[in-house]
Structure 1
Amino acid sequence: MRAGALLLALTAAADAPEAVYSAPAQHRLVEGVATDGATIWLSSVLDRNILVRRAGAVTNIAMPAGTLHPLGMAWDAQRKWLWVATDCPDLPGVAKCDSGALVALDRKGRLKAKLSAGPGFHPGDVSAAGGAVFVSDGLNGAVYRLNGGTLDPLIAPGVARSAQGTALTADGQHLVVADYGRGVATVDLKTKVRTLLPMADGKPLRGLDGLVRVGADYYAIHNGSSPGSLIRFRITGAQIDVTVVQRGTLLADPTQLTHDGNRLLVVADAGWPAASKPDQPPRGSNTLVAFRLP
């Protein structure tokens, strides 16, 4: 059964979200979002820019020389750095590469760190919490933890299928991983033991992309079917209890999300169809929307 079909059996209800920002047409593909509570960063993939929104004004930061296209992002409150997963997505006009890198930028866009897990490393999502930084590889399912100046594999390449968003548990002992093909899992940060967490009916929740934890709740983007959904789940024992928060045309092409303490910020219409197929219509108006947290 497709992941989308699983979600159709769930009940959805939520207040209408707030439109926050619509990217200009030249930023045809917006993938990642991060915030420190006051500034919002968005990754403009094709033109290798970071859009910076603060106090209603938007400026651009060009990716430093020697870096690739920005994808998922996370703000590191301890280091005051913006971590960016960079790679060469398979899109028209994007040159192929052997591997990508996890890079860190300061507020002015200056390169502070650039790390790779080796040949064939293609990072897509990154999370940061309490000084810990994690990056996932959507092509081979691997997940890595920043360890000094290296990336330590928590899930080795080939064990999972397509690792996407990650979120540290409240106690800091486990990492929750959304694997697009295998479902939700936890990884024990001491032993590196990976445990798959099915839904109450025993089936995995596939098709998840971005992931963030707010208290005891985990919010995730489900884009395994169109339109997409914003879902919420809690971990109960060895399973997850899932609720659909929002589903519908507003989430035409959702990808990543983060939170500023009061709101979930969701890239609601990234623009992948138009970027992948030039004959597709352009992205809609609401690039970034916000949902009030309960």
Structure 2
Amino acid sequence: MIWSLLVAVAAAALQPTTVLTIDPSHRIVEGVASDGKTIWVSSILDRTVLACRKTCRTMAVLPPGLHPFAIAWDKGRKRLWVAADCPPGVTGITACERGALIALDKRGRVVTRIAPYVGTFHPGDVSASQGQLFVSDSQNGMVFRLTPNGRGLMAVVLPGIGKSGQGTALSADGQRLLVADYSQGIGSVDLAKFTRTLLPRQDGKPLRGVDGLVRCGSTYYGIYNGAAPGLLVSITLTATGLNFDQPLGELSLPDPTQIAFDGKRLLIVADSGWATLDKAGFVRTQGTPIIAIPLAKDCTPI
């Protein structure tokens, strides 16, 4: 009811619409991805990836011990990549030392399961663009790129640099990777030199608290959920840092997590359920809305 009211208030402006409502039995919905026809979402606690058009069906259930966080559609390889993890300190998840980057085919079969050769690995976010695949570690801030043969991961943000790696988005020229580090802010990674530069926003402060991240043209869109309620933010790069704005104006998003761009519109997990995870005995009665925001050819919201 609250979400419907928020959408109604903003309808005259940007007209965000709810395109899917995920059944409330999927209590914690995290990731969203799309090829322009199918919308996939990840349900963390029941280890399920759903494939949705007019209705949703179970596409895959991950192996025991692994839970699907962010997901990304790789149109070149025709694979859905899943950041599958078992992080510490999450109610309903048994912690482990190493998660995995998993690729599913369109039938939901696991065709790739990889992780770095050594050390802990807690993948929380993944992105696919221009034939490249990146996965970030939510616990230590490292970011990895899939090797050309698809059999390994190579660090592009090295140990000791970041703290909590979240969304990633490749630049249009493929030379730089924008990385949201939840604790430190937005960074730009030179993929040839393996160096990361933190980008201050227009007031000189870091833009912390950004989760999911995507790019359309030269504009990056991110989900800010560092405080409640969350927001959609737009990011444009400058010679000295970044400018950020709120393209939905004062419209806030309750408990948002991830964002995808399907070529025409942004898709956002608007009410994931994380805010109620630690409420003992809580039973979810309202489903998670996936909202869509159409973008014009210049990548601005319509």
Q: Fold conserved (TM > 0.5)?
A: yes
Is the 8 Å Cα contact of residues 269 and 283 (structure 1) preserved in structure 2? no
Is the 8 Å Cα contact of residues 24 and 287 (structure 2) preserved in structure 1? no
C-alpha displacement at 1:230, in angstroms?
Answer: 0.1
Is the 8 Å Cα contact of residues 189 and 196 (structure 2) preserved in structure 1? yes
The AA in structure 2 aligned to 1:49 is T
1:193 paired with 2:202, answer: no
Cα distance between partner residues in 1 of 2:285 and 2:252: 12
SS at match of 1:22: strand
C-alpha displacement at 1:283, in angstroms?
Answer: 6.9
Is the 8 Å Cα contact of residues 36 and 77 (structure 1) preserved in structure 2? yes
The AA in structure 2 aligned to 1:84 is V
Cα distance between partner residues in 2 of 1:162 and 1:280: 28
Match of 2:56 among 55, 58, 67: 58
The AA in structure 1 aligned to 2:254 is A
C-alpha displacement at 1:172, in angstroms?
Answer: 0.4
Residue matched to 2:73: 75
Cα distance between partner residues in 1 of 2:123 and 2:171: 21
The AA in structure 2 aligned to 1:45 is I
RMSD: 1.8
Unaligned runs of 5+ in 2: 1-11, 297-302
**Runs of 4+ displaced beyond 6 Å:** none
Residue matched to 2:108: 109
Cα distance between partner residues in 2 of 1:192 and 1:93: 36
Residue matched to 2:173: 171
C-alpha displacement at 1:291, in angstroms?
Answer: 1.0
C-alpha displacement at 1:91, in angstroms?
Answer: 2.6
Is the 8 Å Cα contact of residues 30 and 287 (structure 1) preserved in structure 2? no
Alignment of 1:229-268 (within 5 A): 229-246=231-248, 251-268=253-270
C-alpha displacement at 1:110, in angstroms?
Answer: 0.7
- When normalised by structure 1's length, the TM-score is 0.90
- When normalised by structure 2's length, the TM-score is 0.88
After alignment, is 202-211 or 157-166 more displaced?
Answer: 157-166
C-alpha displacement at 1:93, in angstroms?
Answer: 2.8
Is the 8 Å Cα contact of residues 273 and 280 (structure 1) preserved in structure 2? no
The AA in structure 2 aligned to 1:74 is A
**Number of residue pairs matched by the alignment:** 281
Cα distance between partner residues in 2 of 1:84 and 1:37: 18
Cα distance between partner residues in 2 of 1:237 and 1:123: 31
Alignment of 1:1-294 (within 5 A): 15-54=14-53, 56-65=54-63, 68-89=66-87, 90-117=89-116, 118-147=118-147, 148=149, 149-246=151-248, 251-279=253-281, 282=284, 284-294=286-296
- Give CA deviations for 1:252-290 in whole Å, capped at 9, x if unaligned: 110000011221000000001222333557374452111
Cα distance between partner residues in 1 of 2:245 and 2:283: 31
Cα distance between partner residues in 1 of 2:90 and 2:165: 20
Change (3 A) 1:261 1:116: same
